[in-house]
Structure 1
């Protein structure tokens, strides 16, 4: 056991540091996801507008987010805000802004798709019962939309958790950064430390993301039955 690289995980507080780094990643992803859901619902409703200028703006926003890599957005916000606006953002704050910007666009498109998939007679039935437009959305449309969105929201959260590994490049001390610090500190004493450290990081990400992925798949299957 003395010569096995696995011992690096249990020296000092290394394992606790990895867990702490994972918590940083999860916190960024969860905060950004909560903001994305709120903004995405509003954006999705706006996307259903028939006005051409609104449609063009929404399409431009969505395509910009989908075409531009998240890493480029991170650099633009983190370094651009400091240089051009004299705003000193922390890496975590910059990451939340970027992931919210990305997540809101993705969420908005999911909401738009869910709203448009609801048959027109659902709206007509509500209006026929004397409901206002707000009541139709509140009691008929939104409950059905939320039900259809849950699997997609879980998949988006999983993607967001995995993408947080990019924030290491703007100085955030998350789980990948902690792992690199542990490896660098043991480069000469434990040559195969990287195998064990990155292996554990893989297991951590898998343990967090797999339940969401499976739940999304089961819910999607249940909704289709």
Structure 2
């Protein structure tokens, strides 16, 4: 059985299809993380400055993406809103939109907490030196806040990457979808699901391990440069 399962894996373009699905997963994940990081930094900084009503809006936005599971959000943006608004987006774009908004909501709360953890004396010293509010955030608060936020950033990023496994529900041809297609095409072989999902699990581990290594490297460079 195992021998025939490996023959199936190596036959045709199955390996190429799996790697292509992995590429789709990586593109969606990294694009969502980059966009979510940029939006999250801006929202997190504004959250520490804004008045009561603006903070309430941020809080509602955060709670929507924190409480509602990702699957209903995907269905809402892919099936319901396009039908009601007459706007049709490709599944990959919808995936990036949902994951970026989710990442931004979670990361903005992390940034808010990180900025507020910077000692008050540093903000007061920056004001005394004549720096504007923008300059204080640009050169003092956000750099130190980002350093504090690196570990939560890794955890949130790995959550995004792992959660992309549900994208087969909206017909995104990611690595999970490709693996399922190969399994269904060879359903007579009872070992092929173990082999395919084992390879997919290894690929997810490799992607997350590389992300963790790169983030730790950047964190180390920042600490050594302080």
TM-score by shorter chain over 0.5:
yes
| Correspondence 1:69-218 to 2 at 5 A | 69-188=69-188, 190-213=189-212
Contact 1:78-1:170 at 8 Å conserved across structures: yes
**Displacement after TM superposition at 1:50 (Å):** 5.1
Describe the superposition over 1:77-120 as per-residue Cα deviations: whole angstroms up to 9, x where unpaired: 00012210111111111111100110110111011011100011
Question: How many equivalent pairs are there?
Answer: 221
User: Hey, what's the Cα distance between the residues in 2 that align with 1:31 and 1:214?
Assistant: 19
User: Hey, what's the Cα distance between the residues in 1 that align with 2:167 and 2:216?
Assistant: 28
User: Hey, what's the Cα distance between the residues in 2 that align with 1:63 and 1:138?
Assistant: 27
User: Hey, what's the Cα distance between the residues in 2 that align with 1:41 and 1:170?
Assistant: 29
Contact 1:155-1:212 at 8 Å conserved across structures: no
Describe the superposition over 1:148-168 as per-residue Cα deviations: whole angstroms up to 9, x where unpaired: 222222222111111111111
Contact 1:155-1:216 at 8 Å conserved across structures: no
Cα distance change, pair 52–2 in 1 and its aligned pair in 2 (3 A): closer
Partner secondary structure for residue 172 of structure 2: coil
Contact 1:21-1:178 at 8 Å conserved across structures: yes
Partner secondary structure for residue 95 of structure 2: helix
| Cα RMSD, aligned residues only | 2.1
**Displacement after TM superposition at 1:11 (Å):** 0.9
User: Hey, what's the Cα distance between the residues in 1 that align with 2:60 and 2:3?
Assistant: 56
TM-score by length of 2: 0.90
User: Hey, what's the Cα distance between the residues in 2 that align with 1:142 and 1:217?
Assistant: 18
Partner secondary structure for residue 48 of structure 1: helix
Question: Gapped runs of 5+ residues in structure 2?
Answer: none
TM-score by length of 1: 0.91
